[in-house]
Structure 1
Amino acid sequence: MKQPLLFNSLPVSVSTADGVEPDQATIETVPNLRGASIADAVRFGGPAVSRILERMPIHCDRRYVIVDTKVAYLMQGWSPSIPGWHTDGVPRGAEGDARDKGAPNLRAMIDDSMTAPRFHLYVSGTHCPTEFLEGMFMQQVDMDAEDDRSLYSSMDTTVNTLLDIEYAAWSTFRTQPDRIYTWDWWSVHRAIPAEDTGWRLLIRVTETDYIPPRTEGFIRRQNQVYIPQGFGW
């Protein structure tokens, strides 16, 4: 049975990072962290990460706080993550664990007993921002599908269609330097290809009741970028 789900139900809030934008040389030295605790992110992330974390508007009303950092060197046209409109933190697999490799578990997502995680995002520079959709919209979703891997491909098509409509009520905005953006798992956004060449730092803090910080293996030794097929330089 298909059911309409409301996305972008809450607006993205914006706060200032108070002028702590790191330069390119500093970003290059920042390690990639995956699911680290605040303490470990401060200990291993370096001064730039520590200064930005100090300015994150963390509410401390969830059981856990975890930190992810992603540093990538991007040439024009490269993307720092899989392209397409999506949401973060959606429960996956039978257990509803966002770290699971399974398909989105939408029944867990709308379960009133689950408290949505809260995300705080910082993206350096202007050459490869994250783009958010403004305006609520409904999407029909098959709640009985056993493997709804089409959720985000369908969402990407729906959002792009909405944005192509002349005089549409929907618009987008992109992250700016020295800003922190806060949203939940219903907020639709995407990575866009880099518009120039350079280093990019993304820091995401997640407040969640379901995913504890990693106690080991939280320093990533590698990272991925996505390039157009046939790219050359």
Structure 2
Amino acid sequence: MRKFYFHTPHHAGHAPLDLPQDTIQRMHNGLFRCPLVQAGELMPDLKPLFDNAPVFNPDEWEVDVKVHMLMANQYPCIPNWHCDNVPRGADGEVDYSLTGDEWTVPMLLWVSDGPLTEFLAEPLALSKEPVSHRALAEAIRDHGNPTQPIQPQHWYSMNQRTPHRGTKATEAGWRVFVRLTHRSIAPDRPVLSVMRRHSQVYLDATQFSW
């Protein structure tokens, strides 16, 4: 019987960046699908990070940045298991069958500090392809896989089959999220503006929809 595999992240290098809280407070809200080669001009505080990103051919990559001011009990990203940049079918629903089981490196993730994104600590093999993010989350819960948080200020590589979820802030503070995406998997939608206008937060890990 065929198995459908989901992966753990791969550590891609330590990338320390001096970002005091008052520096983050002065930054604008972030970037949306911005060409990596342009990102340093728009967010100069992050330019050393962009310039030293562990990628070949920087002109083939886009960058997303989210700057969050979080209060305790808020999540900076979706607080249940999901994968990024999963293609959607004609009905608008995510379709995991359009992603490949093999390990590739089309995305890299970096966060300045907690709350820290959580990943699987061991690969997951399923007997059938999940039909939605919610179905994937239920499968992970049913299998009881161990989990692991990433370290702040380190690059991690992932793909469209690397499940992760946001974790809850325990105190007030500022956080910077950076994700690099290779254009080969970028959504086929126009980018109206590379300047991010808002960064939503999530409040309850059991009540979510996307």
State the AA in 2 paired with 1:218: V
Q: Contact conserved, 1:63 with 1:207, CA < 8 A, in 2?
A: no
RMSD: 2.9
Gap change, CA 1:30 and 1:3, over 3 Å in 2: farther
Determine the C-alpha separation between the residues in 2 that align with 1:221 and 1:85.
Answer: 25
- Normalised TM-score (structure 2): 0.83
The answer for the alignment partner of 1:97 in structure 2 is: none
The answer for the alignment partner of 2:24 in structure 1 is: 27
Percent identity for Structure 1 against Structure 2: 26
Q: Please report how far the alpha carbon of residue 140 of structure 1 lies from its aligned counterpart in structure 2 after TM superposition.
A: 3.8
Match status 1:46 vs 2:44: yes
Choose the corresponding residue for 2:152, options 157, 177, 185: 177
The answer for the alignment partner of 2:93 in structure 1 is: 103
Structure 2: gaps of 5 or more residues: 206-210
Choose the corresponding residue for 1:92, options 88, 91, 107: 88
Q: Please report how far the alpha carbon of residue 80 of structure 1 lies from its aligned counterpart in structure 2 after TM superposition.
A: 1.0
Match status 1:118 vs 2:118: no
Choose the corresponding residue for 1:129, options 100, 116, 122: 116
Determine the C-alpha separation between the residues in 1 that align with 2:133 and 2:189.
Answer: 26
Q: Contact conserved, 2:63 with 2:180, CA < 8 A, in 1?
A: yes
CA deviation string 1:92-141 (max 9, x = no partner): 133xxxxxx921123322499xx956111111113x11011021112244
State the AA in 1 paired with 2:33: G
The answer for the alignment partner of 1:196 in structure 2 is: 171
Structure 1: gaps of 5 or more residues: 95-100, 164-169
CA deviation string 1:40-76 (max 9, x = no partner): 21111122x111112321133x983100000111111
Q: Contact conserved, 1:12 with 1:182, CA < 8 A, in 2?
A: yes
If you compute each CA radius of gyration, which structure gives the higher value, 1 or 2? 1
The answer for the alignment partner of 1:98 in structure 2 is: none
The answer for the alignment partner of 2:12 in structure 1 is: 14
Paired residues, number: 203
Give the ranges of 4+ consecutive aligned residues of structure 1 lying more than 6 Å apart after TM superposition. Answer: 212-215
Determine the C-alpha separation between the residues in 1 that align with 2:84 and 2:146.
Answer: 20
Determine the C-alpha separation between the residues in 2 that align with 1:157 and 1:180.
Answer: 28
- Normalised TM-score (structure 1): 0.76
Match status 1:217 vs 2:204: no
Gap change, CA 1:111 and 1:178, over 3 Å in 2: closer
